[in-house]
Amino acid sequence: MRGKNLISILILAVLIFPIVGCSPTATTTPAAPTVASAPTQQPLKVALLMSGPINDGGWNQSGYEGLMLIKDKYSAEVSYSENVVEADILELIRSYAKQGNNIIFGHGYEYGEALQTVAAEYPDLYFIQIAGYETNGKNLGAIESGDAGTLGYPAGIAAALLTKTNKIGLVGAVDIPTVTNEFLALEQAVKKYNPNASIVTAYTGSWTDVESAREAALAQISTGVDIIVPNGDAANVGVIRAAQEKGAMVIGTQRDQMAVGPDVVMMSVIYPIYNQMVNVVDLIQKGEFKGEFYLLSTADGGILLSDFNQKVPKDIQQQILDGFELLKKGQIQIVLPTAEW
């Protein structure tokens, strides 16, 4: 029996080791020595918590870029935690608060409640929820970039005008409102600019699963889709790869994805949340922060268009730019379901 137990224990040992979850990491980047700030002044300390990796080419990378912009502009001492799991959110925010970080960003709606709790415990520090609505009128505010639907709409114009088969594919990660609303706006643009085009939508369920996104895109292409709009952060790479294999086109979202697929990416619709992160730090530094919801509207640069691929005909480029101008002027009404935040 001893021998049998031993074997069982060894089996257990073998089983335990592969079962380690994702590995969250944190990095503190000390501020570069500065000449500008007074020597006696304590450097501004800023922290950012993200649920994914900083190099995902999408949502989390944009947050990381914002942090780096803040670091450069204010010679701030910045630190961040990536791949944060739900069970650690509250304690990590408390730890950052305890270490005296003046401004703590939570990158996504999942940070709202924890930020609310810790903001009440540390009234002298500032807390910012990115892309959420959690505010307390004092030291907790929320920021967002671009009015709802204005990311998807220009992508829709481009897809509608560029498709030759009149079949457009959408590949999203998870069907959360921030993704579904953009796809709804996209559909409205397609209906207006190319009523004959049909749309197929797929959700992979993961922000990081490149292979699933690739499979979904390949499946769409096989049914005749010739242009795909992905909205899945790191998973976008899979869509671009599929397009390269089968010769389809891609409209990038979130970030400029031209570099990932220069032959297939026609243009990208950019979500510059990093600029609004800098703006909110400006507000705090000027003493004008009131713990509210701060939106960088699309008219003020909350959504940007990248340069066009040379393959996009000039007249189509002009139509996309014109449509985007109308959108910025508020002359296009995007109908979205009322959010129940």
Partner 1 sequence: MQITAPIKVSWRLKYILRGSFTILIPILSVFLSFLVGAIVILWSGKNPLLAYSFLLQGAFGGEKEIATSLAKSIPLLFTGLGMTLAFRGGVWNIGGEGQLQLGAICAVIVGTMVSLPPVLHVTLAVLASAAGGLLWALLPAILKIKRNFNVVITTILFSYIGVLLTSYLIGGPLRQAGWGRQTDPVAETARLPILVPGTSLHAGILIGIACVIGVYILLSRTTVGYQIRAVGLNARAARAAGIKTNRITLLVFLVSGALAGLAGSAELLGYQYRLVEGFSPGYGWDGMAVSLLGNMNPFGTLLAAIFFGALRAGANTMQVGVGIPLSMNQLLQGLTVLFTLAGTVIHIYSKKGEASNGGS
Nearer to partner 1, 9 or 326 (CB): 9
Query: What residue type is 217 in one-letter code?
Result: A
Binding test (CB under 8 A) with partner 1, winner from 34, 55, 73, 91:
91
What's the min distance (Å) between Cβ of 310 and partner 1?
Answer: 38
What's the min distance (Å) between Cβ of 206 and partner 1?
Answer: 10
Give the contact letters, 201-220, x = binds to partner 1 (CB under 8 A), - = no: ----x---------------
Distance CA(274)–CA(328), nearest Å, equals 20
Stretch that binds partner 1, among 5-13, 134-142, 221-229, 316-324 (CB under 8 A): 5-13
Which residues lie closer than 8 Å to 334 by C-beta, 6 or more apart?
148, 149, 150, 153, 184, 185, 188
DSSP class of residue 224 equals: T
Which residues lie closer than 8 Å to 318 by C-beta, 6 or more apart?
none
- What is the CB-side half-sphere exposure of residue 254 using CA atoms within 13 A? 23
Nearer to partner 1, 100 or 330 (CB): 100
Decide if residue 85 touches partner 1 (CB under 8 A).
yes
Nearer to partner 1, 84 or 281 (CB): 84
- DSSP letters for 301-323: TTSEE-PPPTTS-HHHHHHHHHH
Give the contact letters, 274-303, x = binds to partner 1 (CB under 8 A), - = no: ------------------------------
Q: How many residues bind partner 1 (CB under 8 A)?
A: 50
Distance CA(276)–CA(272), nearest Å, equals 7
At 304, list the tokens.
């940007």
Stretch that binds partner 1, among 94-102, 188-196, 291-299, 313-321 (CB under 8 A): 94-102
Binding test (CB under 8 A) with partner 1, winner from 37, 69, 75, 110:
110
Cβ pair 47, 101 in contact under 8 A: yes
Give the contact letters, 176-195, x = binds to partner 1 (CB under 8 A), - = no: xxx-----------------
Cβ pair 104, 127 in contact under 8 A: yes
DSSP class of residue 259 equals: T
End-to-end CA distance of the chain: 59
The contact set with partner 1 (CB under 8 A) reads: 1-2, 5-6, 8-13, 15-17, 19-21, 23-28, 47, 79, 81, 83, 85-88, 90-92, 94-96, 99, 109-110, 113, 121, 174-178, 205, 339-341
